Amino acid sequence: MFTLPELPYGHDQLGKYISGSIMQLHHDKHHQTYVDKLNAAIDAAPALRERSLETLLSDLDSLPEDVRSAIQNHGGGHYNHSLFWQWMSPDGGGEPTGELAQKITERYGSFQGFVDEFTAKSLAVFGSGWTWLQPDMEIITTANQDTPIMQGLEAPLLGLDVWEHAYYLDYKNKRDDYVNAWWNVVNWDVVQQRHVTK
Ligand code: MN
């Protein structure tokens, strides 16, 4: 059975940029629903119990058709959100250092150049989806709860949830204000750890 991971900080601790109300709704309700519906899909196809979440998502074509879209949507939701909580911190913001900073600068000219492109791609996502920084330093987007490993790509270094449920309570329709605020909570330590272990 898949379970909802605890937040690595209090619900209110990102409050200046992302309110406790959003975190309660987003983590406790939305993410819990992805977990519950993923578990229901696995209950309906018990042969899949042995597979890890990564294995399930990396080979959607191998899944029984009657549970495939549920695992894509809710399994993707569980996978993406489990990472998303780790990518934020009350002590976040600033810039990466070391080899990651160097690679970002090589690819985007400067850290600000990277922020600008990641932000622009996040604002260009039509409807619900995610923006990702991949280990090869590409910035890509996916729709809905799709995730890079579903597309045969490596696991992302960093990702941003641009579903309205991630910001509407605080920012209404102003996704740009949400994205600009989010840079202040990005946990670069976690991004760097993911980069190093690649
Ligand atoms: Mn979300």
CATH number of residue 131's parent domain: 3.55.40.20
User: Does 108 share its domain with 189?
Assistant: yes
Cβ pair 114, 98 in contact under 8 A: no
| 102 Cα: distance to centroid of ligand 1 (angstroms) | 30
CA–centroid distance, 166 to ligand 1, in Å, is: 5
Q: Which of 36, 63, 86 finishes a domain?
A: 86
Residues 104 and 183 in one domain: yes
34 CA distance to ligand 1 middle (Å): 10
**Same domain as 184, residue 111:** yes
Q: Are residues 50 and 122 in the same domain?
A: no
3-class DSSP state of 142: strand
Give residue 143 CA to ligand 1 midpoint distance, Å. Answer: 12
Residues 78 and 108 in one domain: no
pLDDT at 141: 98
Name the residue range of residue 131's domain.
98-196
Considering the domain architecture, whether residues 116 and 76 belong to the same structural domain is answered as no
pLDDT of residue 156: 98
Q: Does 109 share its domain with 192?
A: yes
Pairing of strands 158-161, 129-133: antiparallel
So what's the pLDDT on residue 197? 76
CA pair distance 156, 84, nearest whole angstrom:
11
φ/ψ (deg, to 5) at 41: -65, -40
The full DSSP string for 17-52 is: TS-HHHHIIIIIIIIHHHHHHHHHHHHHSGGGGGS-
Helix (H, G, I), strand (E, B) or coil at 61: helix
Alpha-carbon Rg of the chain, whole angstroms?
Answer: 17
Containing H/E element for 154? none
> How confident is the chain (198 residues) per 10-residue block, as mean pLDDT?
97 97 98 98 97 98 98 98 98 97 98 98 98 98 98 98 98 98 98 89
| 113 and 174 co-located in one domain | yes
Domain boundary residue, one of 86, 115, 130: 86
Q: How far is the CA of 98 from the centre of ligand 1 (A)?
A: 30
Task: Say how many Å lie between the CA of residue 44 and the centre of ligand 1.
Answer: 25
Distance (angstroms) between ligand 1 centre and the Cα of 81 equals: 6
In a domain, 167, yes or no: yes
C-alpha of residue 191 to centroid of ligand 1, in Å: 19
Residues with CB under 5 A from ligand 1 (ion): 161, 163, 166
What pLDDT, on the 0 to 100 scale, is given for residue 35? 98
| Claim to verify: residue 58 and residue 107 sit in the same structural domain | no
CB atoms within 10 A of CB 47: 9
